[in-house]
Amino acid sequence: MGSIKKQVVWLFIFISLTLIGTIYGAMRIELARNVMPINTTMTQQMVDDRGNQIDDWFGERLSELRLLANLSGQRKYTRQQLFNETKTLSGFDKHNYVSIRLVSRDGISYSDSFPSFSVRHRSYYREMQRYPKRVYTVSNLLTSQEDHQSIVIILYRLTQPLPDHTAYVAAAIPLTKVEALTHDLSIYDGTGMLLGRGTDSPQIDPQKELLLTTKLNKLPQWKVNYVVQKKELREGTQHLIRLLLIIILVVIALLGLLLILLLRRIVRPIENLTRSMNEIQNGGYAIRATVEGPQEIRMLATTFNQTLDRVYENETKYREATIQVLQAQIQPHFLYNTLDTIQWQIMGDETDD
């Protein structure tokens, strides 16, 4: 068996490593089980919120077009008069509309500044023809013929067709604002994209990527997709684990410092006591153990010193008793020799001596 100090140090190292490994493994499993779903849910909420912002923006455009469409039911308008109203609306905020045209019942799209053209074969017009009770529809992604930017057409049914059979308002809505809202999704450095009707979602690697989707209520069959790397979702977990490990290491370092202080309080007095014993064995009779350390070790040192004093005292008494015994043995023999010598001197006529 090794010394107490070595045993305690090795035990402390073993317990520390076991504690770190156990906590790290348990926290990694627990965080992966809980934090990943939480981060996924939070990211989905961010995507949903951004979808709601896009919906709100389109909702404002629909409200404006509804007011414009309702004008035909309030009084009789000519096409030119309604064009004047559309100019007022599009001029109010030029960034919200590329153009506003009027579409006749037979599918001719009119503008007061650009040539007319037919939209009979376009899906959004045929959809409105197929569903007479539908108030509005939204086209797929298109390219504006006027300025060649990405747009969608909101075809809104007039409350009352005009005398010249104008039946719809066709507003070309730029996607610049919407795409900006989509691409500005910056959580976890993912990729946001706006997908129109008939557009397939991007292909992802299920092992490495996660696809989050939210639908747009104001844009039927349109959706916002957000592709994020799974490692990005776990990144917060890794930071938390590293922080936890730092805390554990700090706690273990403090416990190690406490252990060193305890060893100094316990082991050092024992070592001093052992050193004193060795010196006493080598003839240092005046040496005594130093009384220090915890109460138990102080009591041990005190008892050792008292025992040593008692041993020395008994040794002295034993030595004195031995001398006395020797003296008791010597005195009768000396007296007998003296008398014998006197006797022989008398017998040898040495009376004076």
Q: What is the pLDDT of residue 184?
A: 57
Structure confidence by residue, pLDDT tens digits, 175-216: 777 777 666 555 545 565 666 666 666 777 777 777 778 888
Whether 248 contacts 19, CB under 8 Å:
yes
pLDDT in tens, 83-106: 888 888 877 777 788 888 999 999
Mean of the per-residue pLDDT values of the chain? 79
pLDDT band at 1 (very low <50, low <70, confident <90, very high): very low
Q: Summarize the confidence of residues 118-130 as an average pLDDT.
A: 91
SS3 140: coil
Q: Report the predicted TM-score, pTM, of the whole model to 2 decimal places.
A: 0.56
In 3D space, the residue among 63, 56, 70, 68 whose CA is nearest the CA of residue 219 turns out to be 56
Mean pLDDT of 48-68: 87
Between 325 and 45, the higher pLDDT residue: 45
- Alpha carbon 25 to chain centroid, angstroms: 14
Residues 207-257 have pLDDT tens digits of: 777 777 888 887 777 777 777 777 776 666 667 777 877 888 888 888 888
User: What pairs with residue 193 in β-bridges?
Assistant: 225
Q: Which two tokens stand for residue 210?
A: 């996660």
Q: How far apart are CA 174 and CA 143, in angstroms?
A: 9
Residue 351 predicted with pLDDT over 80: no
Are 152 and 142 in contact by the 8 Å Cβ rule? The answer is yes
**Could you give phi then psi for residue 15, rounded to 5 degrees?**
-65, -40
Of residues 157 and 176, more confidence is placed in: 157
Q: What's the pLDDT band for 331 if we cut at 50, 70, 90?
A: low
CB count in 10 Å sphere of residue 129: 14
* C-alpha torsion 124→130→133→137, nearest 10: -10
Q: Which phi and psi angles does 160 have, rounded to 5°?
A: -140, 120
Residue 153 has pLDDT above 80, yes or no: yes
Q: Is 21 exposed, middle or buried (0-12, 13-18, 19+ CB in 10 A)?
A: exposed
Are 222 and 138 in contact by the 8 Å Cβ rule? The answer is yes
